């Protein structure tokens, strides 16, 4: 068994134009003061990282690592969630997702998609330059508008979507393989990879590509009423990253999974700060330890009610309290009498 590393914090929800959230030195110092040992970095946020420079300059990466280290912080992973989303976009979402892209490719889906692929590749190369072996992203989605279809989906529609999704991601995954980096898709509603079944459909089309892996986040499974503990055992060999995020699902006579278009605070299913929701993190951390997960426990703060800075500080201590320092020996070793094959055969009544 292995001990999970942590706590770490995903910085995407905290980067801001106001200090201490507007510079790499200040935000890593703030994270350390909150009790974190690591940070996951949104690769699209120029206030924190110059992605193109990180992909081309080892010395720049060394500088980033050095500044963080002065504050007692490690870089755990880079994230390309926004760019990964743009690798595959259904036309219904063109306008909504255009804001994720650089200005010069907005309004041009083909150019935007090519830009997104290059961005994810840059982030993977930057991960290599930083000495990081896992990378977080989204898969994007072509079939999501048909998740609950009316009228019924025409035969072959989903299969065609997943064929295309795999075709778009295979070159990226091949690049990741060259860099020695695992691509970890956050399994998330809004993405074509939103549960185990869809991940398997994707993986099959990629011939079980070794770099195609999962970012496990139980909050998204609570809101889908999916067994998030069983999921760990099913996909333990593919789970390479872990977002520690809480959620609750409280259906009523008025709303359930789809939440009736309500704002977050009024939804039946909503994200909460750590410890305020329904996720059984004691069981999750136990399974992670038993399954030899030795990556980082990364807090992703998203809460409909609590202030983010309070959620961040409480989250650091929450993760510390849940990380299991695994044992190096069995608890009953003191009672072991030693044995050999001859003794074993005698105990079984098998004679000499």
CATH of 5-347, one of 3.20.20.150, 3.40.50.10600, 3.40.50.1370, 3.40.1740.10: 3.20.20.150
Residue 229 makes CB contacts below 8 A (sequence gap 6+) with 280, 283, 284, 287
For residue 93, the SS3 value is: helix
**pLDDT by 10s per residue, the chain, length 352:** 889 999 999 999 999 999 999 999 999 999 999 999 999 999 999 999 999 999 999 999 999 999 999 999 999 999 999 999 999 999 999 999 999 999 999 999 999 999 999 999 999 999 999 999 999 999 999 999 999 999 999 999 999 999 999 999 999 999 999 999 999 999 999 999 999 999 999 999 999 999 999 999 999 999 999 999 999 999 999 999 999 999 999 999 999 999 999 999 999 999 999 999 999 999 999 999 999 999 999 999 999 999 999 999 999 999 999 999 987 777 666 667 677 888 888 888 897 6
- The pLDDT value recorded for residue 332 is 66
Which two tokens mark 163? 């064929």
Helices 157-179 + 109-129 axis angle, to 10: 30
| Start-to-end CA span in the chain (Å) | 36
Query: What is the C-alpha separation between 143 and 152, in angstroms, rounded?
Result: 13
Residue 1: predicted pLDDT: 81
CB proximity list for 345: less than 8 A, separation 6 or greater: 351, 352
Quote the CA–CA distance of 174 and 132 in Å, as a whole number.
17
Smallest CA-to-CA distance from 341 within 352, 332, 330, 325 is with: 352
Q: Which of 192, 136, 193, 103 is nearest to 10 (CA)?
A: 136
Per-residue model confidence (pLDDT) at position 174: 98
Predicted local confidence at residue 335, as pLDDT: 63
Sign of CA dihedral 78, 284, 229, 301: negative
> 39 CB contacts (<8 Å, ≥6 apart)?
8, 9, 10, 11, 27, 28, 31, 68, 73, 74, 75, 76
pLDDT of residue 347: 83
| The token pair that represents 110 in the structure block | 């083909």
Look at residue 351 in the predicted model and tell me its pLDDT.
73
Q: DSSP assignment of 57-82, as one string?
A: -HHHHHHHHHHHHHTT-EEEEEEEHH
Q: Which helix (H) or strand (E) holds 313?
A: helix 308-322
């Amino acid at each position: 068994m292995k001990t999970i590393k942590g706590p770490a914090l995903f910085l995407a929800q905290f980067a801001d134009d106001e200090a201490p959230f507007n510079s790499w030195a200040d935000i890593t110092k703030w994270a350390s003061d909150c009790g974190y040992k690591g940070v996951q970095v949104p690769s699209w946020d120029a206030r924190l990282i110059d992605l193109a420079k990180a992909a081309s300059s080892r010395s720049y990466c060394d500088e980033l690592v050095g500044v963080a280290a002065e504050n007692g912080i490690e870089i755990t992973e880079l994230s390309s969630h926004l760019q990964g989303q743009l690798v595959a976009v259904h036309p219904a979402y063109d306008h909504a997702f255009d804001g994720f892209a650089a200005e010069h490719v907005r309004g041009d889906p083909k150019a935007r998609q090519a830009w997104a692929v290059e961005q994810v590749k840059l982030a993977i190369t930057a991960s290599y330059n930083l000495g990081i072996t896992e990378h977080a992203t989204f898969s994007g989605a072509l079939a999501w508008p048909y998740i609950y279809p009316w009228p019924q989906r025409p035969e072959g529609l989903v299969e065609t979507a997943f064929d295309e999704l795999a075709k778009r991601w295979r070159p990226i995954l091949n690049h990741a393989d060259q860099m020695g980096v695992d691509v970890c898709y956050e399994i998330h509603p809004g993405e074509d990879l939103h549960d185990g079944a869809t991940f398997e459909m994707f993986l099959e089309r990629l011939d079980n590509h070794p770099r195609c892996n999962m970012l496990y986040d139980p909050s998204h499974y609570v809101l889908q009423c999916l067994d998030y503990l069983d999921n760990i055992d099913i996909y333990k060999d593919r789970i390479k990253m872990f977002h520690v995020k809480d959620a609750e699902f409280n259906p009523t006579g008025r709303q359930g999974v789809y939440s009736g278009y309500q704002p977050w605070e009024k939804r039946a299913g909503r994200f909460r700060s750590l410890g305020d929701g329904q996720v059984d993190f004691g069981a999750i951390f136990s399974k992670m330890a038993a399954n030899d997960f030795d990556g980082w426990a990364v807090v992703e703060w998203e809460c409909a009610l609590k202030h983010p800075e309070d959620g961040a500080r409480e989250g650091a201590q929450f993760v510390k309290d849940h990380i299991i320092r695994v044992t190096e020996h069995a608890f009953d070793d003191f009672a072991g009498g030693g044995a050999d094959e001859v003794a074993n055969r005698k105990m079984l009544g098998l004679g000499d």
